[in-house]
Amino acid sequence: MNGRNFNNTGIPAMDFLVTFFQARVQRARSGELDRGASAVEWVIISAVVVAIVGVVAAIINTALSDGANKVGDCIKGAKASGTC
């Protein structure tokens, strides 16, 4: 850039901003930001899996509860009528 040093403008706030943005650009070019995206993807995948497991558990719980109630009703009816 025409031999000019943009890291030392004589204005501390400007020097900080230039250094900060240079570091951000370097990180973006290096692919270091991909790690954060990967972590977010894993969190989303984990949340979806947990939700699926919760739904399946609720369905199984309902089925078992209904089955237990049917067996209980059958037992009560068998005592009274002798059949199920």
More confident residue, 21 or 52: 52
pLDDT at residue 45, rounded to an integer: 92
Nearest-angstrom CA–CA distance, 8 and 3: 12
Confidence label for 82 from pLDDT (cuts 50, 70 and 90):
low
Q: What is the mean pLDDT of residues 43-48?
A: 92
| Pair 7, 18: CB distance under 8 Å | yes
Q: Which residue bears the tokens 């501390």?
A: 12
DSSP code of residue 83 = -
pTM here?
Answer: 0.48
SS3 content of the chain, % helix, strand, coil (to 5): 80, 0, 20
Q: What is the DSSP string of 46-78?
A: HHHHHHHHHHHHHHHHHHHHHHHHHHHHHHHHH
Identity of residue 28: A
Residue 76 has pLDDT above 70, yes or no: yes
Confidence label for 33 from pLDDT (cuts 50, 70 and 90):
low
Write out pLDDT tens, residues 52-68: 999 999 999 999 999 99
